[in-house]
A = this chain, B = another copy of it.
Amino acid sequence: MTRNAASADRHPVLPPLPSIKAAPFVRVRAARVVELLTPDEQRELAELSTLVRLRRHGMLHPEGGHAEAVFNLVRGVAQTYHLSPSGERRVTSFLFPGDLCGLSENGYYVNTAQAVTNLIAYRIPLRALRNIVSRDPALDAHLLCKLCHDLRAAERHTVMATRRDARRRLAAFLLRMQSDGADGADDVDEGGGGGDVIRLPMLRHDIADYLGLTVESVSRAFQALEDDGVVRRRSPKLIRIMNPDALRRATEEE
């Protein structure tokens, strides 16, 4: 076993710089997702922002709250969700380092953003952001690119969450977490993170609310994938992919 006690507390001496990652409009290299911010922009944003550290389940911003800032996640994982009057919760996205949240309408946040793991984020006041953008038009273009990225992600989410059966929804989710969630590992030693092991930092309840299912259905879908030898649960949050091809097929198959 790895010695966790020592490494778990290692905070980066310097916090990571602001970072916005997205797939660009035109192919750059082989990379699917690249850093959009230039070192200058990172420094500028860092200067005008405040650093926020949250423990698990801490709130970045509440739905309906007065929107004065956006947040740039640089470490850890977060989620955004809506609460309906009847108490139903719908998770609309999971956020990883390089992501933004704080979408507003008419000056109010349209969703709640909450820490899934301990996290570090830059709180970027909207006034400051507008200031920088006015001096640096390139940043505007970068934000545009990021929003296109998020829009594509939102569409994929809809497609994923409206799949017919739970098994396919979960399979699609696991594939997505394999690529998106590769980064974002938090206070966890990287021991099991590599290769064909997916780490799911969120609770089953979060996955269920993200996929439009119940926790029970998520469990049963895991069981179904496991029975077919597609994946194996080492622990609830550590999923080993036994058959990558089968997992890919499981997202589309008839």
Which residues of A line the B interface, CB within 8 A? 23-27, 32, 82, 84-86, 88, 90, 92, 103-107, 110-111, 126, 133-134, 137, 140-141, 143-144, 147-148, 150-152, 154-155, 157-159, 161-162, 164, 211-212, 252-254
Contacts and interface: CB of A to CB of B under 8 A. Distances in A.
B161 A105 contact: no
Contacts of A104: 25, 148
Nearest to A25: B104
Contacts of A26: 106-107
Contacts of A88: 164
Contact of A151 (B141, B150, B159): B150
Given A106-B23, A141-B140, A144-B140, A158 B154 contact: yes
**Across the A-B interface, the 6 shortest Cβ-Cβ residue pairs:** A162-B212, A154-B154, A147-B147, A27-B106, A140-B140, A85-B252
Contacts of A254: 86
A128 to B, nearest CB: 15
A85 B159 CA distance: 13
A151 B148 CA distance: 9
A162 to B, nearest CB: 3
B147 A151 contact: yes
A209 to B, nearest CB: 9
Contacts of A105: 23, 25, 148, 152
Given A110-B155, A154-B158, A161-B162, 17 more contacts: A25-B105, A25-B107, A82-B155, A82-B159, A84-B159, A84-B252, A86-B253, A90-B159, A103-B148, A105-B152, A134-B137, A143-B144, A147-B148, A151-B154, A157-B158, A162-B211, A162-B212
Contacts of A162: 90, 161-162, 211-212
